[in-house]
């Protein structure tokens, strides 16, 4: 029932996007920018303002994300060195293991599985994780490619999600009541974010082709499907995180490799074929592993 009621609706909407992408061959640039600069900031702002989020939950999420991201980052670096993979393959591996699809895949699952309360906590995770991805993801992808610190900082400042989050916290702290002509458009845009993101996921996957590097792909896919859930389980236990927040952190950490990993691999020419294969295979494989995880969390 978990698979039918939670995973299948997500897979069906993404599947529609996949078929649409295959049939029309339309690019995703315009929709991606719409989602990134308008819909997702509205979703973040509306979630933080509307739902109850405690300072304790926020602190636990930040600490958890910092630990998990750091461990995955270190594990991928050490693992690729022990396997003696070349630099480009190593960078693609780090991106594949560290970047997860907690936005347009994780959030809908949380909404269907745990309702609006779980969804709101998932948004906090997404914003926190994005901060690490912007800094470390771009930094790793551009490693030895000549990106300056100034360029890296500018890339961080261009992400509108942080501004939406900060503004929402300010509104909550000061108990500012937004007038209906302002709050209702934000709510409408927020409601549009999830279906658009799922369609975008499907459209992005429709362009992915599994290429060579079979051994590396198999190792990375297996590692991505198994290591993050086990790591998240251990970290939440060590931190004493319980209840709904624990479930949210486990789900978000267990999502497949993000499409953004492929975008960075393409932009900096870091074995994009390998990253593309891992994105597709972990997304398909995650339908099974996420069903098992949700069953254990019920």
- The pLDDT tens digits for 92-101 are 898 899 999 9
Q: Answer with the residue of higher pLDDT: 114 or 139.
A: 114
Does pTM surpass 0.85?
Answer: yes
- Average pLDDT (4-15) is 92
Counting beta carbons within 10 angstroms of the beta carbon of residue 108, is it exposed (0 to 12), middle (13 to 18) or buried (19 or more)? buried
pLDDT digits (tens, 9 = 90+) for 32-77: 889 888 999 999 999 889 887 788 999 999 999 999 999 999 999 8
Inter-residue contact 132 to 66 (CB < 8 Å): yes
The chain-wide mean pLDDT, for the chain, equals: 88
Return d(Cα 290, Cα 281) in angstroms, integer.
Answer: 14
State the DSSP string of 141-184.
HTTTTT--HHHHHHHHHT-HHHHHHHHHHHHHHTTPPPPHHHHH
pLDDT for 138 equals: 62
Alpha helices in the chain (DSSP H): 2, 8-24, 29-34, 40-50, 55-82, 87-98, 106-132, 138-141, 149-157, 160-173, 180-205, 214-239, 243-253, 259-267, 272-297
- Asked if 200 and 83 count as a contact pair (C-beta separation under 8 A), the reply is no
């Amino acid at each position: 029932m978990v698979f039918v009621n939670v995973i299948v609706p997500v897979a069906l909407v993404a599947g529609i996007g996949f078929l649409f992408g295959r049939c029309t061959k339309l690019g995703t640039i315009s929709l991606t920018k719409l989602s990134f600069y308008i819909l997702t900031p509205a979703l973040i702002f509306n979630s933080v303002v509307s739902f109850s989020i405690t300072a304790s939950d926020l602190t636990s999420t930040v600490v958890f994300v910092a630990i998990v991201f750091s461990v995955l980052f270190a594990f991928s670096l050490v693992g690729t060195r022990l396997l003696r993979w070349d630099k480009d393959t190593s960078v693609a591996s780090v991106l594949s293991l560290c970047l997860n699809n907690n936005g347009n895949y994780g959030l809908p699952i949380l909404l269907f599985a745990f309702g609006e309360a779980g969804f709101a906590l998932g948004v906090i995770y997404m914003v926190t994780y994005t901060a690490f991805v912007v800094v470390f993801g771009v930094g790793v992808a551009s490693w030895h490619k000549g990106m300056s610190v100034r360029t890296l900082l500018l890339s961080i400042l261009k992400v509108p999600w942080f501004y939406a989050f900060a503004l929402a916290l300010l509104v909550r702290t000061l108990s500012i009541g937004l007038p209906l002509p302002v709050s209702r458009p934000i709510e409408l845009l927020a409601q549009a974010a999830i279906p658009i993101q799922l369609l975008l996921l499907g459209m992005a996957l429709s362009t992915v082709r599994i290429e060579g590097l079979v051994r590396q792909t198999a190792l990375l896919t297996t590692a991505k499907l198994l290591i993050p859930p086990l790591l998240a389980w251990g970290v939440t236990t060590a931190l004493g995180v319980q209840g709904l927040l624990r479930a949210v952190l486990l789900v978000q950490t267990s999502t497949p490799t993000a499409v953004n990993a492929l975008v960075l691999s393409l932009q900096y020419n870091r074995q994009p074929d390998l990253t593309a294969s891992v994105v597709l295979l972990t997304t398909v494989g995650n339908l099974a592993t996420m069903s098992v995880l949700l069953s254990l969390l019920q």
